[in-house]
Amino acid sequence: MSGSYNLIRLHGFGDIAREHRRSRPHLLAAVDGGTRLTYADFDRRSTRLANALADQGIGEGSRVLWLGQNSHRILETLVACAKVGASLCPANWRSSVEEVKALIADYTPHLVIWQEAEVGETMRAARADAGGDARWVQHDLDGPDGYEALIAAGDEQDRDLRISPELPLLALFTAAFAGKPNAAMLPHSTLMYQNLLISRGQMIDERSVHLNSGPLFHIGTLLGTLATFHLGGCNVYTPRVDARTLLELIQAEKVTHAFVPAPTIAQIREINKDGAYDVSSLWSSPAAPEWKFPMCMPADAPMLRQMGGYGQSEVMGLISFLFLGGTGAGRVSPMAQVALLDDAGREVPAGEVGEFAVRGPLVMAGYLGAAAENERRSRFGWHLTNDLGRRTEDGSLIFVGPKMAMIKSADENIYPVEVEACIRQHPAVADVCVIGVPDPVWRQNVKAVIVLKADASVGEAEIVEHCRARIASYKKPKLVAFVTALPKIPGTQFNDRKAIDAAHGGGGYPSFG
Amino acid sequence: MSGSYNLIRLHGFGDIAREHRRSRPHLLAAVDGGTRLTYADFDRRSTRLANALADQGIGEGSRVLWLGQNSHRILETLVACAKVGASLCPANWRSSVEEVKALIADYTPHLVIWQEAEVGETMRAARADAGGDARWVQHDLDGPDGYEALIAAGDEQDRDLRISPELPLLALFTAAFAGKPNAAMLPHSTLMYQNLLISRGQMIDERSVHLNSGPLFHIGTLLGTLATFHLGGCNVYTPRVDARTLLELIQAEKVTHAFVPAPTIAQIREINKDGAYDVSSLWSSPAAPEWKFPMCMPADAPMLRQMGGYGQSEVMGLISFLFLGGTGAGRVSPMAQVALLDDAGREVPAGEVGEFAVRGPLVMAGYLGAAAENERRSRFGWHLTNDLGRRTEDGSLIFVGPKMAMIKSADENIYPVEVEACIRQHPAVADVCVIGVPDPVWRQNVKAVIVLKADASVGEAEIVEHCRARIASYKKPKLVAFVTALPKIPGTQFNDRKAIDAAHGGGGYPSFG
């Protein structure tokens, strides 16, 4: 209606920090090692960083890449990007040099913030080869070329740019269905709607203390981080997962919410079996109970509710929730529509299996620079998830499985098609199928079933090494089998994965239903 | 980014009903007298109505007016309007003929849905005088000209129009600061963001049963109605407030949430002092305790939290909440910014009183057709609330009072400037100041302090009658005093309200702080 009111109604992700500075100036925003920042500090620093970015020409549509472990600086940079209209990609720091190079080539960042500790060798190698004219800033470096110097270079005056909440803000690499990961571009409004839902499901408010123990390049951790920030709670950071460090932080900061990968829970329980650490702010019993959902809060934690559901990075993590009611993966989010479609885009009859198709502001704005994949995934007026599911008679969602296979190792998603594409590059390989084999600790191990070319010869170690050099180490096969032929789905060139699983011990694939 | 994804990301208020039909087909959406509708029924009826509206040319930007008491048909019509891009105004059915005429002239509806029972005489009189070419449909009429016949005329096929959530959906007449009320136009996204916040504060979910006992033209009731609908709970309707009916409904429907005007609480307590009605779903004690906030849930009700805050219809009711933390009127909403401005649009120094100025998607899109008022209220990049407040040292909002006076009678807002404008029309009146006088039952009574013209003569009854004929009955003065002069603020023509209050027993003005 009124032009002034259109401008007044804008609320970007940066505006959250602005209001926290007014509403919660003294509350803690971040604890990270020796660093403790109030919301007044947080907004001041993110404003300085936004101004420093703007002074270097970073503005609407620009891209910033984070190549490091967990740090309070990720959220600070996200908010600075929000204030100038740029997007931030927190990349997987466990990537290989080749993967980082591919990621840089795909995301084409204008600024890279990278870390020396633990991952410096990989990042420097990728930088040397990557080309491009991005500026590189080291976040764990004191001195004129470091992150703190960049912040100090920005002036304190908030320029208060009015940013459309429909601009992409967060970029998450995900879903290697096309053989390589793509960056799902998630707008400000997507994050904000999801924050309100997550805060509802996990009862997050300004008294919440959220331990960022899972990786911040993973939507599962980010959901809690972003909702805690939005509601004015405190985010506690640790660069990587270490069970004893987590216990110390839970006790010291009176952590109320946490994302802890499933294998770490067992370690925590073992270390704390005598109750030496006070974890009563998070768990009802000193030896932490098993969590029902790896991405979720413990069902019996004080003030928390069970956090099950269905989702993927492309729809901001979760678009159905058990806390909303129902069974299986629960009811669809108040900010989404879900239809079950057949391959022609028609809704399948009640109770039958179809592909989950999603609409609404929780859906990404598309993959960056992937026109063909965007077209393939956005048909019939819906985002196609590539996941199969059905509805119960009462309307709840049931997750059936990926339309294409996925392997889960700890909390990492591994797409067979990506590993297969890598192995196929080996000159000795004629055909390959990558499957997941159940593992008591890691949930699944990657196994490659390989057909060699006539007269070719190669050993298991060479295949593993071939992969290690090209993709993230956790994606490489731990097991290799050589066969003379792979069974195919009748009438197609596609591997019959069911038959191959049966013959080679495959199973334990992830299911959220 | 991708055009397809822009369309996929749209989520209008009508899409909520579409998803409920899939996710909650068997859950109850509405109970109203003998009518009980599931969400499948609800969506089917709202689709039929939307199609019937569209067939009559009602689409994006069209306006529908509701002239009746509470009914499940208000929400049904709102969703039908949402599906075609129109807006709905639920008008105050206690308005006078003159007020309804003014409202029709201002809102210029394309369709009027009106009620015969109790209010038919007023509505018919207004219709006879109003002119315009709106179609009028009677909602409490069986037969070809009634509301049910209109629904039956629409086909069942969902046309699934993609509607921008930035289009105005709900129109609320409010704030007679300019002498007459204006229609605040609230877009789809405004309602949806607020629903998520209200559901968080009041713990509303699909198990909630919300009793619509307050008037649905008032944002205080609507907040609960809309959030309950959005989360898939059940709305129970009653055409008007009657203490015994409320008790019967609370018991029969196991009501968990309700808006009950303060005077009615006392009646409920009296009627139920022997505990004859089971109100345990809503209150912890049989004789309902006094509620701390008239717009809110009882503080001790099961599953409910204290619902205090600051707001006005122009910002969707509430933009600060005590449940978010802080003191006074609590912390600012996660979807708003609030600045305290002086008359030049500068933020006042910390701790000092200024005008609450608001930004973000909870702010209306403007008043309908009120360019000058929109310009006055949307200066400096903020919506100016006309309310004064300050912040505590910890960042909480404290409501100080309206920049211009307001009287509160039961839950009705009465703007002295509007009553004064009416009284000034009387030929005998030279000057007037309307104040509020504390009243144990009604909170405040309206009192007019009048200066007569030289040689003019008029009695108290004639002034009261003059008002009754022109404005809503509850706005007319109950008390009249005649004086020879009114004290003015030095150097201005403005009445010195403080001095007039002191001399004539004024006080008890509303404060939310």
User: pLDDT tens-digit profile of B87-100?
Assistant: 999 999 989 999 99
Which chain A positions have a beta carbon within 8 Å of B324's beta carbon? Answer: 205-206, 231-232
A459 to chain B, any CB pair closer than 8 A? The answer is no
| Chain B CA closest to residue A372 | B2
CB contact (8 A) between residue A360 and residue B331: no
Scan residues 211-230 of B and list those with Cβ closer than 8 Å to A: 230
Domains of chain B: 3-27+39-186 (3.40.50.12780), 313-402 (2.30.38.10), 407-504 (3.30.300.30)
Which chain A positions have a beta carbon within 8 Å of B326's beta carbon? Answer: 23
CB contact (8 A) between residue B383 and residue A336: no
B184 to chain A, any CB pair closer than 8 A? The answer is no
A19 to chain B, any CB pair closer than 8 A? The answer is yes
3-state secondary structure A90-152: ECCCCCCHHHHHHHHHHHCCCEEEECCCCCHHHHHHHHHHHCCCCEEEECCCCCCCEHHHHHH
Across the A/B interface, how many CB contacts are shorter than 8 Å?
A: 218
Which chain A positions have a beta carbon within 8 Å of B165's beta carbon? Answer: 361
CB contact (8 A) between residue A337 and residue B19: yes
Phi/psi at A147 (nearest 5 deg)?
Answer: -65, -45
CB contact (8 A) between residue A206 and residue B10: no
This prediction has a pTM of 0.84
Which chain A positions have a beta carbon within 8 Å of B366's beta carbon? Answer: 1-2, 4-5
Which chain B positions have a beta carbon within 8 Å of A171's beta carbon? Answer: none
Nearest to A200 among B26, B199, B339 (CB): B199
CB contact (8 A) between residue A359 and residue B326: no
pLDDT surpasses 90 at B157: yes
B310 to chain A, any CB pair closer than 8 A? The answer is no
Helix-then-strand count for chain A, H and E: 15, 22
Scan residues 194-213 of A and list those with Cβ closer than 8 Å to B: 195-197, 199-200, 205-207
User: pLDDT tens-digit profile of B189-245?
Assistant: 999 999 999 998 888 999 999 999 888 998 888 999 999 999 999 999 998 888 999
CB contact (8 A) between residue A365 and residue B2: yes
Dihedral sign (CA B383, B388, B393, B394)? negative
Nearest to B23 among A363, A382, A395 (CB): A395
Name which of A6, A15, A23, A393 to mutate to probe chain B: the one with the most chain B Cβ atoms within 10 A of its Cβ. A23
A336 to chain B, any CB pair closer than 8 A? The answer is yes
Residue B513 confidence (pLDDT): 27
Residue B166 in tokens: 């930035």
Which DSSP category does A240 fall into? S
The residues, any chain, with a CB within 8 Å of residue A497's CB and separated by 6 or more, are A405, A433, A435, A506
CA distances from B148 to A29, A433, B52, B82, B469 (A): 55, 61, 11, 19, 34
Residue A20 in tokens: 């926290």
A347 to chain B, any CB pair closer than 8 A? The answer is no
A11 to chain B, any CB pair closer than 8 A? The answer is yes
d(CA A38, CA A462): 52
Residue in A12, A102, A131, A93 with CA at minimum distance from that of residue A369: A102
d(CA B72, CA A199): 30
The secondary structure of B334-354 as a DSSP string is TT-EEEEE-TTSPBPPTT--E
Residue B91 in tokens: 């008008």
The residues, any chain, with a CB within 8 Å of residue A498's CB and separated by 6 or more, are none
Which chain B positions have a beta carbon within 8 Å of A231's beta carbon? Answer: 324, 334
Scan residues 367-386 of A and list those with Cβ closer than 8 Å to B: 368, 371, 374-375, 378-379, 381-383
CA distances from B242 to A228, B121, B161, B238, B247 (A): 43, 22, 40, 9, 9
Strand partners, A452: A429
CA distance B98 to chain A (A): 27
Which chain B positions have a beta carbon within 8 Å of A381's beta carbon? Answer: 4, 7-8, 162
Nearest to B19 among A162, A205, A332 (CB): A332
Nearest to A8 among B8, B23, B359 (CB): B359
Which chain B positions have a beta carbon within 8 Å of A379's beta carbon? Answer: 4
| Chain A CA closest to residue B393 | A25
A351 to chain B, any CB pair closer than 8 A? The answer is no
Q: Can you tell me which residue has the tokens 């040689």?
A: B455
Which chain A positions have a beta carbon within 8 Å of B325's beta carbon? Answer: 24, 205-207, 232
Residue A106 confidence (pLDDT): 93
Strand partners, A138: A114, A146
What tens-digit pLDDT sequence spans chain A (513 residues)? Answer: 567 999 999 999 999 999 999 999 999 999 999 999 999 999 999 999 999 999 999 999 999 999 999 999 999 999 999 999 999 999 999 899 999 999 999 999 999 999 999 999 999 999 998 877 899 999 999 988 899 999 999 999 999 999 999 999 999 998 655 557 899 999 999 999 999 999 988 889 999 999 998 889 988 889 999 999 999 999 999 988 889 999 999 999 999 888 777 678 888 888 998 889 998 888 755 555 544 333 333 333 322 334 578 999 999 999 999 889 999 899 999 999 999 998 889 999 888 888 999 999 999 999 999 998 899 899 999 999 988 889 999 999 988 776 777 788 887 878 887 899 899 999 999 999 999 999 988 889 999 999 999 999 999 999 999 999 998 889 999 999 999 999 986 655 667 888 899 999 998 886 432
Q: Can you tell me which residue has the tokens 């197609």?
A: A492
User: pLDDT tens-digit profile of A59-88?
Assistant: 999 999 999 999 999 999 999 999 999 999
The residues, any chain, with a CB within 8 Å of residue B459's CB and separated by 6 or more, are none
Nearest to B11 among A338, A361, A383 (CB): A361
HSE value, Cβ hemisphere, 13 Å, CA-based, for A463: 28
A185 to chain B, any CB pair closer than 8 A? The answer is yes
Is residue A130 helix, strand or coil? helix
B15 to chain A, any CB pair closer than 8 A? The answer is yes
